[in-house]
Amino acid sequence: MAEISDDGHRKILRRIAKRVMLERSMAVDFPDEVYAEIKSAAETSVTADNAVKDMTGILWYSIDNDDSEDLDQLTAAESIPGDKIRVYVAVADVDSMVHSGSVTDTHAGQNTLSVYTPARVFPMLPEQLSTGATSLKYGAVRRAIIIEMTVEKDGNVSASGIYPGLVKNKAKLAYNSVAAWLDNTGPEPEQMRSMEGLAGNIRLQEDAAARLRLLRYKNGALSFESSETHVVFLDGHIKGLEADKHNRAKVIIEDFMIAANGATARFLESRGVSSIRRVVHTPKRWDRIVELAKEKGYQLPAAADPKSLEGFLSWTKERDNEHFQDISISVIKLLGPGEYCLETPGASSEGHFGLAVKDYTHSTAPNRRYADLITQRLLKAAFNGDSPPYSDEELDVLAKHCTQKENDAKKIERQLGKSAAALLLGDMIGQEFDAMVTGASEKGTWVRIFNPPVEGRLNGYVSRPDVGHKLRVKLISADVERGYIDFNSI
């Protein structure tokens, strides 16, 4: 491994990130024309008009990561007669300041999403917008698209509506502190103590989210435990990899976003409007999932079935929770990635296999994903009874482009994650680790070691193991510049 200079790991990773972004034809900086265009937009004040409903009186608040400033959503809830809960999700009206065909829009459509690497974030929109004028930031009045849903006791959404409105974020909360409070392992966050009714509203939201989630699981939604990690820096140098743990606060927001994306898809369908759907296909490697379950002592049907797969996951978690994450990772890999697809009114959608939903789009993160901004424009045209702003042919091209750039972004993020891991593993060449196979194809075999949680390529095997198999490996190289980590089987 090359000797590390005194510049620090963070600076090294920033340089590599810029190079890899350019290799994938991703923009790394905003041109002056974008800054000139957004200057007036960022200074525009927000006022109500006849086409926008004033909803600032509701107890809106955000729950996000500790350091997030590009706030796309606010949520709120209220009890209504019949043991029902009305859930509100407000999504930042990014289109009001990023108009279709503008310089800023064209630039956003190049990358189509924000790219997150360990040492640098490449935002889809300039921070003057994404963390400023189009962020649903604390204390600010903002235009939003509001999704209103009535959640029944059994988790069904019996009614929903979508409309433009004005909102005001009255509390900026963080996942970890809210989750600690819900788990009785931490104090009540300060903003919750100072805002009357906020604690009760969060409890009500958790009730609504649990109802939605239970119904999805009954329909076959899959309950995974992911292995996402983030790099921990100290004085510019990497000190370790820390797991991004799932918690009760994150689950609330995830459940609401899934419901809001479903309601949005159904709204556009009801108006006869074509849309870009988020699809996770029936897994092509179902036979290996069946084989994996059999190795654990569980019988799955020969034909792909999400309810049966969720039964296997739940069974595994109950019987062997220590290794549940390993099984989750294997199944996720075998399911394959999602993609964006054109959906015309009346067409039969394959839906999202992992969520067990037929109607699903991306609509809740327009500051970070271009597909969501496209959906927002389709919604606004539908509100006004206008013709859709995109033809079916244009939507099909955009869907394919968004899928391709998302794949590029994942490769960039994965490569930079491995470059960071290579920096961490540089002094461990020759050490042995327990590992699990996470990928197997004609292109090669990949394994993940457990401590630290790092993935790399497997070399020197006699017969190729398949996804989910466990083995012992030796670290033989860690290439920081290319993000290559190589192991030999033992």
Structure tokens at 373: 């901004």
pLDDT of residue 47: 61
Q: Is 209 exposed, middle or buried (0-12, 13-18, 19+ CB in 10 A)?
A: buried
Q: How far apart are CA 196 and CA 431, in angstroms?
A: 55
Tell me 437's DSSP state. E
How do residues 169-206 score in pLDDT, each as one tens digit? 999 999 999 999 999 999 999 999 999 999 999 999 99
Q: How far apart are CA 134 and CA 141, in angstroms?
A: 10
Q: How far apart are CA 167 and CA 276, in angstroms?
A: 26
| b (16+ CB within 10 A) / e for 124-140 | bbbebbbbbbbbbbbee
pLDDT of residue 229: 84
Q: How far apart are CA 401 and CA 109, in angstroms?
A: 9
Confidence (pTM): 0.90
CB atoms within 10 A of CB 315: 14
Q: Which of 411, 466, 462 is nearest to 439 (CA)?
A: 466
| Encoded amino acid at 51, one letter | A
Which backbone phi and psi does 81 adopt, to 5 degrees? Answer: -55, 150
Lowest mean pLDDT among 190-194, 340-344, 458-462, 480-484: 458-462
Work out whether the CA dihedral 18, 174, 353, 267 comes out positive or negative. negative
pLDDT band for position 222 (50/70/90)?
confident
Compute the radius of gyration of the chain from its Cα atoms: 23
Under 8 Å between Cβ of 225 and 324:
yes
pLDDT band for position 348 (50/70/90)?
confident
Tell me the domains of the chain and their CATH numbers. Answer: 9-271+362-386 (no CATH), 286-335 (no CATH), 429-489 (2.40.50.140)
Q: How far apart are CA 143 and CA 54, in angstroms?
A: 9
| Encoded amino acid at 9, one letter | H
How do residues 425-436 score in pLDDT, each as one tens digit? 999 999 999 998
What is the number of alpha carbons within 13 Å of residue 157 lying toward its C-beta?
A: 26
Tell me 322's DSSP state. G
